[in-house]
Every structure is written in structure tokens, then in C-alpha cells.
Amino acid sequence: MVRTIVIDDEPLALQLVEGYVEKTPGLELAGKFDNPLDAMDFLSSQKIDLIFLDIQMPDLNGIEFARTLEKGRKIIFTTAYANYAVEGFRLDAVDYLLKPFSYEEFLKAVNKAKKLINLEDAALSNIESNNEFLFLKSEYKIKRINFNDILYIEGLKDYIKVFIQNDPKPVLSLTSLKLLESKLPETRFMRVHRSFIVNLQKINTIERSRIIFGKAYIPVSDQYKDKFQEYLDKNFL
């Protein structure tokens, strides 16, 4: 199921796209907004696969709003202004629907979006993890992550951040910490908190039930403390 939201400040246009979404198999309408700022808050806490986005809106137009989103969001622009088409495709929009558009045109754009989403999902499912590395989808790319380079992993709702040694920018991926944990070698990685997994081989300093990686302090919660202490005891001199 492809989860979608619609953003348009025109009530009739919002209602039209909402109706199109609701009668299209494989689409789920997760929300509708007449203000992109409200949608921004929603997107920060929800997994959304596809956004139907108007361009001419007050305060923040659709092009400006699209620039604030992380790369990889699937967007179909819906607008009455053809002069924005070039800019829309520069933002890697899936399609650009010029109002008034028919259901046939809408469906064609949706099928294009579904194909892209399915191709990305298939690419990930066909890549098997092993004891040395795995592949993660990050933004528009599929990145190889070597286990030996990982310091720790942080879970953030539907996302994870993988912190890499000697790399100031973590790898952000739309997946769950639980799923990633199942792909990691148990002898090398341990969950020490509901939001953190650490690379045991990279631990150098522990202070007051916290694992220190540079300026980052990873808490060891009560739920995982016994297991972590057992690991320490086995390797304690």
C-alpha cells in the first residue's frame, strides 16, 4: 500500500485529488492539508511514500516546500501553472499534473510513482546481508555499509541514523532499528537501549552506564544492562 498525502490551498482541488486517491487501488490517503507548514509537522512523524503537491500557495509555495524535504520523497506536482514544470523536474518530481487534469492523467502519474517505489523496494530485498557489510537505501542511493566502519546506530521512529567512523555525517535510512538489528552479526553488535545499537569492537570508554563515542554519550538502559554487563565480564581483566 502506497501511503499518500495531498497538499493544496484550493478546497475544490483538494477534494478532487482526495477523491482520486480514495478510488485508486493500492493508494492510502494518510492526510490532507491546505497549508504546507502543517504537512511539514505531519511528515516528521509519519512514513509517507507519495506527496501530491500544489505549487501556488501562500506563505510557502510547493517548490519551496519540496526543497525542505529530504531527498527521496516521491512528489507529484499538481498546479495550474505550466511555467514551474522545469523547476519541478529539477527537484526530481515523479510527474507534473497541469490543472484541470483527468483521472486518467492522475492514474498514469500514480503508476509511474508505484513503479519507482517497487523498483527501490525490490533492489533492497534482493540484496542479502553477510558478516562483513550490508546495503541500506539512503535518499536516492543504495549505500554499502561496512560493519567494521560502524560506531553506533540510532533509531528515530521510522528512520535510523548509522554513525560511521571518521565521517561527520550519519547515513539516514527509512527503516526500523528492529529490522536492522536482525541483519547485524550478534557477535559484533549489541542493542543497549531501545534507540541505540553499538558496535562492540569500537567501544573504548564507558562511564556511568554510558558508552562514549567522541562527543556522543550512548546510554545503557536497565532493560539491556545485564546483557551488556555479561559481555564486559567476559572481556574484563
Topology of the domain covering 133-234: OB fold (Dihydrolipoamide Acetyltransferase, E2P) (2.40.50)
Amino acid at the residue 34: D
C-alpha distance across the termini of the chain, in Å: 53
Residue type, 154: E
Q: Which residues contact 100 (CB under 8 A, 6 or more apart)?
A: none
CATH superfamily of the 2-124 domain: Response regulator (3.40.50.2300)
Average pLDDT across the chain, whole number: 88
**Residue 61 pLDDT:** 87
> What pLDDT is attached to residue 71?
67
Same fold for the domain at 2-124 and the one at 133-234? Answer: no
Angstrom distance (rounded) from CA 215 to CA 99:
51
- pLDDT (average), residues 197-214: 94
Q: How far is CA 149 from CA 39, 160, 175, in A?
A: 36, 16, 19
Average pLDDT over residues 87-99: 81
| Domain locations along the chain | 2-124, 133-234
Mean pLDDT of 106-122: 88
Task: Give the C-alpha separation, 39 to 36, whole Å.
Answer: 5
pTM above 0.75, yes or no: no
Q: Are strands 74-79 and 95-98 parallel, antiparallel or unpaired?
A: parallel
Order of all β-strands in the sheet with 189-193? 171-173, 159-164, 150-156, 196-199, 189-193
Angle between helices 11-22 and 103-125 (to 10 degrees): 60
**Buried b / exposed e along 75-88 (16+ C-beta atoms within 10 A):** bbbbbeeeebeebb
